[in-house]
Every structure is written in structure tokens, then in C-alpha cells.
């Protein structure tokens, strides 16, 4: 996965893919095209659906551009669709749904930008070429006229698509000055499509990287999530680091490229991290098979604490003590800055904090108590922790890799056995709060929580206990506590 070398596309195959996709979506493009044509307006299929049709990918969400103004578009769509909406009216967009099809139609636009903002002043235009010229990349600046199905490609998008390269319709400096988020989109499309990026685009991204700072954290976050969940995230992440964008949006990543000491006493943490990410992706069938952002981002962030904790020891070794705890704190701080939800922050931070836990148990002779604690501490992130721990083995020593794999196989088998016997996922003390209060003769308060925690620790150490045994242990603990 790391060495993405996709061959150029065959133009004949591209034409066949487009024809097949246009036939599939004919119920939409033929009917809508005829409807707009009869009203004296142009209608063209644009953007991602055209690009993906050439790549053989299917969409039921279709984007169109039109010479019609929004009011006229809305009247026409109401004749065709079951439901319409106009949340994007200020930008010229009217949406609708008909059966399984979701359609958005946007009036041709000609936008101007304030250099201090990415929000455009929207002016409606009458030229398809002008509308396409304002788009981010040539592969997204192609259109198909409907109902006639003529391909419009004024900026060479078909050739760029065939060569799998991202270029801007005009000067990249102008494009990124207008909308700096397009720099993040370049990295995202590289990751999604497996495309290379034209050197002029890379140069402009590098020179203008700090322009990304005017973009809201939420918009940057959304692009980052799409990049990380793409088929080739290494391509996008490497581009962010190479151009300096990562220094602004995810500075923990380039910081992993630690300077090698002269004796090469530690491996390249940056390359290790990207490999762990790819290996976590290869294990996603354990999580349902779909791209899992939490698992992937935990893999990306799992070692971010290493730069701050690196120490060289007199015996020639290098240590990163407590980089798991430090890294979890850094991860939570970065995700909070990017406006991730509290649940996402906690899930990723928890995984980073636990990613070394397996290695803390030596050579694999796990006691039942240790297994229970591992499951309890992982909580609802146990399956993702399995993935992260397995992915975190990048050693080239095959014997060591096999040994670690067997040890983790054994641990998972132990977890499965104990789970079946003891219901580990819902592990609780053998006595509940009401029973504790009844036995100790006290009401609700801090002592009940302490007693509950004592019994939970006892449960993890010794497994399920009979009620009378648990009661005796509780009374003994209470008596000893009273003496203290």
C-alpha cells in the first residue's frame, strides 16, 4: 500500500466507463436535461460524478450546473422531484430527491474572494467555461451536457485523469489564494484517488502553506477525516508533511521525523507510524471492513509522545519512557483544537494511552487477573486496541514478529475463554451498591464508591466470588479501614 504506483488509464476504457455510467443514470439526466432544455436553460453534469464516471465509480448523488437562476431551477425541480430544499440558495444551489437519487443543481458562478477569508462573494455567471475554471482541479472541472451527453473539458481534465495527476485549471497560486482549503483537498484527493500532484501545485502549496490558518478548524478537520479514511492515506499525509501544511494542521506528524543520532540507535518514528497506519487498515475486517477513523487516527497518533520523551542512555540505547501517557495528552489537545467530538477525542486518546499495555506483561504469561484488567481498561475500545497492538509491530525480525503475533493470539484466546465464563464485557463487583449499604449499615456516600472499587479490584484479581465470600471480604476490608 505504501508504494502506490497506479498505471495510466486507457482512454478507450475511460470512454466506455463514462458511457456505461451515463446509461445507468439516464433516468435522471435524460429527464432533467429535457426539462431544462424545454425551458431554455443549459444543464450539465459536473464535478465528482463526472470524474468518478471516468474511473468506473458509481454515484446516486449527482451534481449539476445550469444557466438557470435559482428560482427557475426550483420551479423546474418541483415538477420532477418528490422533495426539494434550498439551504444553498445563497450560493445558487437547489437540492431535491426522487427515489434513490439525490440531486443538487447550482447556477453557473463567478466568484471573487476577500484575501483574508475563504468565503466568496457569489456572482452568478452565464458561462460554463467560466464556471468550470473556478473549480479546484482539472479532474473536477469536466462536465457532460444533458440530454445530449457531450463532454466539456476546457482545461484538460481527461488527460490529467488518464495520467493520474492533480493540476489546477489556472495558476495554483491564484486558486489557493482564493480558497486555501483547496491545498488540503489536494492532499485528500491524492489519498482518495491514488493520484500524483503536479510540481507546480506542490510548489504553490509549499509557498502558501500558512494561508491554511484562515480556514476554520472544522473545515480542516473534515478534510483530514476524509484523507485518513481514504484508500491511500500515506500519499496525502506525506504531501501535507512535504509542503509544510502539516506543521499548521497536525504538527505532531512532522515532529515524528526525529533527527537520527549518529549511532542510529532508534528507528524512524515517522516511517514507522505510517506503516502502523497501513497495517491497521489491513486489519479493518476485524472492525467490520469499512474505513474506521478512530482506529486509523489512533494508529497515526500512537507515538506522538516520543519526541518529547526521547532520552539517550549512557549504554548506547534510547528510551521513550511514558510516551504513551504524554502522547495521549497531546492527542486529546490536538483533537480538541480541531473541534472533534468529545466521544471521538476520548476514544482515540484512550487507545493511544493503552497502546503499550500488551507489552507491559512480559513474555505473555498472563494471569487471569491481568486479562480481566486488560479488558476492563480497554472498555468499548477493546477490538480497536487489538487492531492497534497488532499493527504496531513493524520489526523486520521475522522470528520476533511471529513471537509477538503468537503471544497476542494467545491473549485473545484467553479473553474469549474468560469472556464466555465470566462475562468480562459487563464485569461488575459481586455485590451491588444496595447490598454494600445493607452489609455495612451506611447510606449513600463516598465510602460506598470506595467499597465498590475494592470489590471490583477483588473481582478482577480472583474472578467471580460467591456472595458470602464477597461479603466476608467486604467486612474484613471495612474493619481494617476502620482501624486505620
pLDDT at 314: 79
Question: What is the percent of the chain with per-residue pLDDT over 70, rounded to a whole number?
Answer: 91
DSSP string computed for 192-214: HH--EE-HHHHHHHHHTGGGGGG
The closest of 237, 166, 241, 160 to 200, measured between CA atoms, is: 166
Helix axes 382-391, 269-282, angle to 10 degrees: 130
pLDDT, tens digit, 9 for 90 and up, residues 63-89: 999 999 999 999 999 999 989 999 999
Lowest mean pLDDT segment, chosen from 118-132, 178-192, 230-244: 118-132
Mean pLDDT for the stretch of residues 36-49:
96
Compute CA distances 97 → 34, 76, 94, 106, 346, whole Å: 18, 13, 11, 15, 37
The closest of 235, 359, 240, 340 to 294, measured between CA atoms, is: 340
Mean pLDDT for the stretch of residues 25-50:
96
pLDDT, tens digit, 9 for 90 and up, residues 314-330: 777 888 889 999 999 99
Enumerate domains of the chain plus CATH numbers. Answer: 1-163 (3.30.460.10), 165-250 (1.10.110.30), 274-426 (no CATH), 433-483 (no CATH)
Rounded Cα–Cα distance for residues 61 and 99 (Å)? 11
pLDDT at 261: 46
pLDDT at 158: 94
425: confidence class by pLDDT, cuts 50, 70, 90: low
- Taking the CB of residue 263, how many other CB atoms lie within 10 A of it? 10
pLDDT, tens digit, 9 for 90 and up, residues 208-249: 999 999 999 999 999 999 999 999 999 999 999 999 999 999
pLDDT at 82: 83
Is the pLDDT reported for residue 119 higher than 80? Answer: no
pLDDT at 117: 58
Q: What is the mean pLDDT of the chain?
A: 90
450: confidence class by pLDDT, cuts 50, 70, 90: confident
pLDDT at 446: 87
Provide φ and ψ at 104, rounded to 5°: -125, 130
Cβ(306)–Cβ(252) under 8 Å?
no
The set of cell numbers assigned to 177 is 489564494
Is the pLDDT reported for residue 346 higher than 80? Answer: yes
pLDDT, tens digit, 9 for 90 and up, residues 155-184: 999 999 999 999 999 999 999 999 999 999
pLDDT at 433: 84
Which pairs from 315-318 meet CB under 8 Å and 24+ separation? 316/263, 316/265, 317/265, 318/261, 318/265, 318/266
Query: How far does CA 254 lie from the centroid of its chain?
Result: 18
Is the pLDDT reported for residue 125 higher than 70? Answer: yes
Mean pLDDT for the stretch of residues 93-120:
81
Mean pLDDT for the stretch of residues 288-314:
94
Question: What is the percent of the chain with per-residue pLDDT over 90, rounded to a whole number?
Answer: 63
Q: Name 470's Cβ contacts closer than 8 Å, sequence gap at least 6.
A: 429, 430, 431, 455, 458
Is the pLDDT reported for residue 122 higher than 70? Answer: no
Amino acid at each position: 500500500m505504501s508504494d502506490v504506483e497506479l498505471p495510466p488509464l486507457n482512454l478507450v476504457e475511460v470512454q466506455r466507463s463514462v458511457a456505461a455510467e451515463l446509461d445507468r443514470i439516464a433516468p435522471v439526466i435524460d429527464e432533467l436535461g429535457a426539462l431544462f432544455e424545454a425551458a431554455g436553460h443549459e444543464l450539465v453534469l459536473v464535478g465528482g460524478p463526472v470524474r468518478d464516471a471516468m474511473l468506473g465509480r458509481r454515484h446516486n448523488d449527482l451534481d449539476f450546473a445550469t444557466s438557470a437562476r435559482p428560482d427557475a431551477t426550483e420551479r423546474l425541480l418541483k415538477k420532477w422531484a418528490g422533495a426539494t430544499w434550498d439551504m444553498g440558495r445563497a450560493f445558487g444551489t437547489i437540492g431535491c430527491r426522487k427515489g434513490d437519487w439525490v440531486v443538487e443543481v447550482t447556477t453557473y458562478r463567478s466568484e471573487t474572494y476577500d484575501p483574508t477569508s475563504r468565503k466568496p462573494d457569489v456572482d452568478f455567471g452565464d458561462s460554463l467555461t467560466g464556471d468550470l475554471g473556478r473549480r479546484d482541479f482539472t479532474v473536477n472541472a469536466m462536465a457532460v451536457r444533458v440530454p445530449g451527453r457531450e463532454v466539456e473539458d476546457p482545461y484538460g481534465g481527461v488527460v490529467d485523469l488518464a495520467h493520474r495527476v492533480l493540476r489546477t485549471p489556472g495558476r495554483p497560486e491564484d486558486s489557493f489564494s482564493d480558497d486555501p482549503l483547496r491545498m488540503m483537498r489536494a492532499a485528500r484527493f491524492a489519498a482518495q484517488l491514488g493520484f500524483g500532484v503536479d510540481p507546480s501545485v506542490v510548489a504553490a502549496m509549499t509557498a502558501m502553506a500558512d494561508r491554511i490558518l484562515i480556514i476554520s478548524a472544522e473545515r480542516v478537520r473534515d478534510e483530514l477525516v476524509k484523507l485518513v479514511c481514504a484508500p491511500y492515506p500515506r500519499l496525502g499525509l506525506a504531501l501535507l508533511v512535504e509542503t509544510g501544511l502539516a506543521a499548521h494542521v497536525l504538527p505532531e506528524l512532522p515532529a515524528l521525523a526525529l533527527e537520527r543520532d549518529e549511532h542510529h540507535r532508534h528507528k524512524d518514528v515517522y516511517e514507522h507510524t505510517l506503516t502502523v497506519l497501513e497495517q491497521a487498515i489491513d486489519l479493518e475486517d476485524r472492525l467490520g471492513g469499512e474505513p474506521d477513523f478512530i482506529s486509523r487516527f489512533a494508529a497515526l497518533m500512537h507515538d506522538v509522545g516520543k519526541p518529547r520523551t526521547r532520552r539517550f542512555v549512557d549504554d548506547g540505547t534510547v528510551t521513550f519512557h511514558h510516551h504513551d501517557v504524554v502522547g495521549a495528552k497531546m492527542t486529546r489537545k490536538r483533537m480538541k483544537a480541531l473541534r472533534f467530538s468529545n466521544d471521538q477525542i476520548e476514544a482515540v486518546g484512550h487507545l493511544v494511552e493503552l497502546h503499550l499495555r500488551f507489552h507491559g506483561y512480559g513474555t505473555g504469561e498472563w494471569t487471569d487477573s491481568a486479562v480481566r484488567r486488560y479488558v476492563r481498561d480497554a472498555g468499548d475500545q477493546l477490538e480497536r486496541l487489538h487492531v492497534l497492538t497488532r499493527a504496531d509491530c513493524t520489526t523486520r525480525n521475522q522470528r520476533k514478529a511471529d513471537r509477538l503475533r503468537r503471544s497476542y493470539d494467545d491473549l485473545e484466546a484467553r479473553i474469549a475463554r474468560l469472556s464466555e465464563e465470566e462475562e468480562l464485557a459487563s464485569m461488575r463487583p459481586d455485590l451491588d451498591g444496595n447490598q454494600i449499604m445493607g452489609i455495612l449499615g451506611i447510606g449513600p456516600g463516598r465510602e460506598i464508591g470506595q467499597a465498590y472499587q475494592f470489590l471490583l479490584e477483588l473481582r478482577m484479581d480472583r474472578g467471580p466470588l460467591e456472595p458470602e465470600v464477597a461479603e466476608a471480604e467486604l467486612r474484613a476490608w471495612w474493619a481494617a479501614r476502620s482501624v486505620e
